[in-house]
Amino acid sequence: MARYLIVRLGQALVIVVLVTIITFVILHLLPGGAARATLGKEATLEQLAAFDHEMGYDRPWIQQYVMYVQRLLHGDLGYSFQLNQSVTEAIGQRLPKTMVLSLLSTLLAIVVAIPLGVIQATRRNRWPDYTITSLSLLAYATPIFFLGLMMIILFSQVWPILPPEAPQGFTLGEVLADPAGLVLPTVTLAVVTVAVYSRYVRSSMVDNLNENYVRTARSKGLSEGRVVVLHTLRNGLFPVITLLGMYLPALFSGALVVESLFNFPGMGQLFWQAALKRDFPILLGVTLIISVATVFGALLADVLYAAVDPRVRLRRSAS
């Protein structure tokens, strides 16, 4: 197990280094260079040269990359002249809000998707399976912005029971103080995740229901409920554990649309506004944070999978 963790951690570090190289190259491939992208079209050649000298962009690329990594290690992701604040500060103000929204939507998706997947597996090729499958495909195929608009129309206009706008608090405490405002963004972001997770749970459960240990449990006289819940479901959740780490990019892309739609002051809205204003330091900083989080999310998923699945541990020890 320790050897496996060391290997996976080494692979993750290599990928993180590649991510820093890619973001560094993108920074230097911006139209007109980083100076023009930051100072705008009205900047003079003297201003561009002074900016390049101040930021070290007139030095050799290798030296620039070393300086770039040193700044990253000190938590310096650059400076946004559009927001007049550091990228680290801008992301730090909004990241906790996006994490809360993503966590709530993921928990809701898991709570709903697991029972749906179990029902599909135990009632496969019957009307409950067909009905849930059809609804899952419909939810997966529906654009998230259209789904959010329908939520606003139905539950804020037709039946005005929920606010159409997400909480607007500056701090995380102010956001959490308005739980009603979090309902529509959370549900909108969770719907597609439910569709994906339920299909994975169904497929894994169907495979496990045909295993020998399930037949043995049934032959001992255990009820079908105990067989499904205590034996099959535990093994059927392993793919979902892996999916949790790998689904982070899709979750952020959904948060980008949901936060813009519901005016939620998180990282998704920050990224969208930066794209409209061509605020490249913010764009690159958010991209780097999400990329690193995805790498370590996948690493965490692999570690959890190896820790809870005895078959994986046996294969590791045998090799």
**pLDDT tens-digit readout, 157-192:** 888 888 888 888 777 788 888 888 889 999 998 998
Distances 69 to 26, 73, 75, 149, 245 between C-alpha atoms, Å: 15, 6, 10, 42, 25
Same structural domain, 185 and 235: yes
Is residue 148 one of the residues assigned to a domain? yes
Geometric angle at alpha carbon 202, from 201 and 203, rounded to 5°: 95
State the residue range of the domain holding 32: 2-87
- Residue found under tokens 């928990």: 107
Predicted TM-score of the model (pTM): 0.79
The helix (H) or strand (E) run that includes residue 86 is strand 85-86
**pLDDT band (50, 70, 90) for residue 1:** low
**pLDDT band (50, 70, 90) for residue 112:** very high
Is residue 296 one of the residues assigned to a domain? no
Same structural domain, 15 and 136: no
Is residue 271 one of the residues assigned to a domain? no
Radius of gyration from C-alpha coordinates of the chain: 24
Same structural domain, 75 and 117: no
Q: Are 173 and 271 in contact (CB under 8 A)?
A: no
Q: Are 191 and 146 in contact (CB under 8 A)?
A: no
**Cα–Cα dist 259/59, whole Å:** 39
Q: Supply the pLDDT for residue 92.
A: 87
**pLDDT band (50, 70, 90) for residue 317:** very low
Structure token pair of residue 234? 């535990």
Same structural domain, 101 and 249: yes
Same structural domain, 80 and 103: no
| Best mean pLDDT range from 62-71, 126-135, 216-225 | 126-135
**pLDDT band (50, 70, 90) for residue 77:** confident
Same structural domain, 221 and 117: yes
- Residue 170 identity (one-letter amino acid): F
Same structural domain, 129 and 201: yes
**pLDDT band (50, 70, 90) for residue 153:** very high
Is residue 297 one of the residues assigned to a domain? no
Please tell me the total count of domains within the chain: 2
Is residue 305 one of the residues assigned to a domain? no
Secondary structure letter of residue 78 according to DSSP: -
Same structural domain, 176 and 74: no
